[in-house]
Amino acid sequence: MLTETLIMMLVGLLVSTFGTVVGFGGGVFMVPILILFFHFPIEIAIGTTMSAMLPASLIASFFNYREKNIDYVVASLIQFPAMAGTVVGAFLVAFLPVVELQFIFAFFVIIISFLILGTPKQKAKLNRKTGVMYRVTHMPTSFIRKNHHKHLAYRINGGVVALFGLITGTVAGLFGIGGGFLQTPAMIKVFNMPTRIATSTSLFVLTVTSFTGLCTHFWLGHVDWNKSVPLMTAFAIGAALGQYFKRDDVNIPAIDLLIGVGLFLAGIALIINIIIKTGVLFNFTF
């Protein structure tokens, strides 16, 4: 039992470190790992992961706050519509073929990961004053965000960012997943935000979602503190390590590679989650 706990903590440490660097958090990876390799019931796996992500996201956000890397306006534009979208998605579960849509979404995430991995030089194209995103970011609801501490400026379309938050929230409510692994690539690739600002803002958003998720699963009885505390400790240390690796500037191709790999792993994790949930439903039914 002690050996299994230590192995779980080591895995959690690695997942959290990687999730902090790319701004995903790591929850989408950890849930299937706990179910497949540590034989957690699916509800306990989700509750344990939610509890682990809270201290990790708080630690990462503390360091990012000190380094002035968080864009609170963008975080608000994403988070509040995402909360509304989560409610919408939960209601849509009763009317849509969720399993089929989950598979389509998972393969879509994998395709996006291949596009990112296969086109590392696309960043240069985003700087041209042409294309759909250039026109979108210059629509009436667009404005310039300035980070004086980092000497950075970038243009954001508030309406599009809020719509994106609503979509990711709906996906989260419909599929029962977190939207962090979608938010970071979109901020960098679509909204053209600086990488450090995008990953830090995504982790800040995660503090709210992980807290609400932990409260919900605790209320439902899905949090076993004997299992959660070791993983919470590992995720907290991993978050600190991730911030250490982010201290120096990371070149864009390296970030592209990590995000592409992260999205691919997220897509695979989603497929595994679907298979697990479907199997659970079949066992319950028959």
Give me the pLDDT at residue 10, please: 96
Angle (CA) 72-75-78 rounded to 5° is: 150
| Residue 267, domain extent | 2-285
pLDDT of 28 > 50? The answer is yes
pLDDT digits (tens, 9 = 90+) for 115-172: 878 765 544 444 455 555 556 556 667 888 888 888 888 888 888 899 999 998 888 7
Q: Which of 54-58, 129-133, 244-248, 253-257 has the lowest mean pLDDT?
A: 129-133
Higher pLDDT, 222 or 71: 71
The predicted pLDDT at position 138 comes to: 60
Determine contact, residues 175/94, Cβ cutoff 8 Å. Answer: no
- For the entire predicted model, the pTM comes to 0.82
Per the structure, the count of domains in the chain is: 1
Question: How many CB atoms within 10 Å of residue 101?
Answer: 14
Higher pLDDT, 119 or 276: 276
Q: Give the closest residue to 186 by CA, choosing from 52, 22, 6.
A: 22
Banded pLDDT at 176 (limits 50, 70, 90):
low
H, E, C per residue of 207-261? HHHHHHHHHHHHHCCCCCHHHHHHHHHHHHHHHHHHHHHCCCCCCHHHHHHHHHH
Residue 37 dihedral angles phi and psi, to the nearest 5°: -105, -25
